[in-house]
Structure 1
Amino acid sequence: MRERLTDGLYGLGWAGVKRLPEPVAVRLGQRIADVAWKRRGPGVRQLEANLARVVPDASAQRLTELSRAGMRSYLRYWMESFRLPAWDHERIANGMRLLDAHRLTEPLEQGRGAVLALPHLANWDLAGAWATTQLGVNLATVAERLKPASLYDRFVAYRESLGMEVLPHDGGTPFGVLARRLRAGQVVALVADRDLSASGVEVSFFGEPARMPPGPALLALQTGAPLLPASLWFDETPVMKARVHPAIEVPAEGTRREKAAAMTQALADVFAEAIAAHPTDWHMLQRLWPADPPARPGGPAEREPRP
């Protein structure tokens, strides 16, 4: 029953929110965010715990202010995502500004693919839609399987409507397909600040051990495509900003696994700098550091779909 309700609510969002005038959708998102923040559920409490590491000198009052702004940013992501399928190319073009785009376009012009790795910052769906419509790139990504299956199907159909190829996260098939896409000169975009498997690489993240997926680094090593960190953030205008950072260097020595681990740590360092610069746009409402107590099995923080 809970899964059917969740699926129905997301379906209502995609069907209804996109029909609202934009100012109304913005106010609705802020209102929902404020209500969720005031209730201080597991997701909000976990967000504050995560932000305490990002802004270690913040007072208790400052953390609550950051978490409220963070929830508003999170709901901005959802309101925009519900409306994205109805945006035309001009609205998408006006929704984002890409900085240092040459770091992405240059390898593509040479016929090479590129691995874009980014944290859960701002609106990664808008970034993907912008890349496909404004740069004309072929973009492939993966999606976590959600329950119920109908909800997962909604997310896949949604991202495919934005011009992306979406592969399921589970199993070994995605790696081979993504490698083929890279060798064909396409872009693979992966949200890579939280490990969803048992094969994560331990990194130092904001001074504490955490685990991140080695997939982006392994794909770069396998195909020779550059591994490009990317960061996103909202500013005071309706326009989202994005930056492509310099490519992560491939270590000269070490085994494949050792090289991937070193590259994943370098990626984590770039992510940490970007998140510290825009902490309220980091939508990490789930447990990331093993030092935190695990979520109650089946509890809200564990069940929440992560796009």
Structure 2
Amino acid sequence: MRHLVFLLLLFSVCFFTLSEVVDNNFSKCNEFFLNNAPPDFTPPASVSVKPICQCVWVEENKKPQKKYMYATLYSTTWKIPVYSAYVFASPNVMRQDLWYIEPQLDGDSEPCMGPQGSDDNIGPNQAVNDDYKNNKKYNKGHLYPVLHTNNRHSMLATSTLTNAAPQDSTFNKNAWLGHERSVTEDLKSCVKAYVVTGVVPDMNAPKLNNRVYVSKYYWRATCCLKNNQYIGKGYYGPDNNGKVQELKIKELQHKLNGFYQIQNFEVFPSVPKPPKQAKIDSPCN
């Protein structure tokens, strides 16, 4: 019955969002990474991660067509994403407040992103809506934000808990929102812009609902092609003043190595190949 209700809901809007747990190279959706190369990230010992291709089924000529929208590396240990990667687009469309989960992360045969329903088996490997109930300190903080989408399919695909982490509500509504708007202005003149946004968990803070790690830092790296040049920028926050700090990609990677307690985290591991006669003053590495 749960699947029947879900199918009726899906067909009522003529398309449905879904995701696929895929191989470590994101081979089905690597177009969202610079030069098709995902970040070089090895999680700390004892931390499990799952690569997910977030996509939608769109009905075209009365036939379903699969379209991937972005990629996510999700930690089933922390129950928050490590990062989401996407190609920037603007202007955005109106957001919605319905949040989905990924049944397949908990062994359900349903391969599609969908409402949580009443399945008691959902939750061992991911956050669920109940984890955020009765909580005033944290918001569901998007990694791939609605502000950086330009169509309804992309907007809906961002509303899964595998693309969100508990983010301090004051930081989310003020400094981070202002940062997202500034990035929108910075990237909208790019020929193409690749973005990777991630979360660093707070190992010392109480878990949300005693299950989900809350965020200590949010970070973002952008790689913009403009005027035949690749320009990379890094950001993280909150800093000691509760703001978002801008820095070079190499500086961001150095900080992330310390934050995650790992070595050699490269956000853009492949040096971009420039167009003919292009000069790259600020490569994205």
- Structure 1 length-normalised TM: 0.31
Higher helix share: 1
Q: Which has the higher contact order (CA 8 A, sep 6+)?
A: 1
